[in-house]
């Protein structure tokens, strides 16, 4: 099981400082959608250059022009790029084909997909690397989480790895890892902690024991 740190509300210098603090305890750094909007793919490039031993995920949430956007993220140094499960199959196929050419990985984000089970089966057949259940900020505010959805996709996904994101903190982590995802994504649970390094170490310990 791997641990991914999601960075959403930072600029590039803040991102570098944050990653430097917890780099020993994470496997993947996610350059979140708000960071890409504010800083562009330069954020991906600079984090990858600063931390070459970590994998970098570009959370582009691709909805169209799959092949082209994967190509641009790959040029910036991204190892993993996100595509939305709510898009059409042709976009996902284009993204997968380009990612294979570039030797990169695709994570499909199931945020706001209504029929998780059916769509996960369909996407799994398209050759993606990860399928991720994700409760977005707005639904987290209403008290929702992705734990049940993880159980559902674990039951149907045969080829892809599974991932979980959205509101995971130290106290909710045991529930998140109960269904044995391959990748656990934590944002504010680390970035909002008083002692980020210590919290990341504790989260990593639970993730690696699972």
CATH of the domain at 133: 3.20.20.70
Per-residue pLDDT, 138: 75
131 CB-contact burial (10 Å; exposed 0-12 / middle 13-18 / buried 19+): buried
Q: State the total domains in the chain.
A: 1
Confidence of residue 19 (pLDDT cuts 50, 70, 90): very high
pTM of the model: 0.96
Q: Summarize pLDDT for 160-196 with one digit per residue, the tens.
A: 999 999 889 999 999 999 889 999 999 999 999 999 9
Beta bridge partners of 133: 164
127 pLDDT higher than 90: yes
Closest by CA position to 51, among listed 81, 80, 82, 77? 77
137 pLDDT higher than 80: no
145 pLDDT higher than 80: no
Write b or e for each residue in 51-65: b if 16 or more Cβ atoms lie within 10 A of its Cβ, otherwise e: beebbbbbbbbbeee
The catalytic residue among 16, 45, 48, 61 is 61
In which domain, by residue range, is 126 found?
A: 2-209
Tell me, yes or no, if 61 is annotated catalytic: yes
Q: Mean pLDDT throughout 25-52?
A: 98
Closest by CA position to 203, among listed 176, 180, 179, 182? 176
Q: Mean pLDDT throughout 9-33?
A: 97
Per-residue pLDDT, 146: 78
Element (H, E) at 34: helix 33-39
């Amino acid at each position: 099981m791997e641990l991914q740190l999601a960075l959403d509300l930072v600029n590039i210098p803040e991102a570098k400082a944050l990653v430097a603090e917890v780099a020993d305890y994470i496997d993947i750094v996610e350059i979140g959608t708000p960071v890409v909007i504010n800083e562009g793919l330069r954020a991906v490039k600079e984090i990858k250059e600063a931390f070459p031993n970590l994998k970098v995920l570009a959370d582009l949430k691709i909805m169209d022009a799959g092949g082209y956007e994967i190509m641009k993220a790959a040029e910036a140094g991204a190892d993993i790029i996100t595509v939305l499960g709510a898009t059409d199959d042709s976009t996902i196929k284009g993204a997968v084909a380009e990612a294979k050419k570039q030797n990169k990985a695709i994570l499909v984000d199931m945020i706001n997909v209504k029929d998780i089970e059916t769509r996960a089966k369909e996407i799994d057949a398209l050759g993606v690397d990860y399928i991720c259940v994700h409760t977005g900020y707005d639904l987290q505010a209403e008290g929702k989480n992705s734990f049940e959805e993880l159980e559902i996709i674990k039951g149907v996904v045969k080829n892809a790895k599974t991932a979980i994101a959205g509101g995971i903190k130290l106290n909710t982590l045991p529930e998140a890892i109960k269904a044995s995802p391959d990748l656990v994504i934590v944002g504010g649970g680390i970035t909002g902690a008083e002692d980020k390094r210590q919290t990341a170490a504790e989260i990593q310990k639970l993730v690696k024991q699972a």
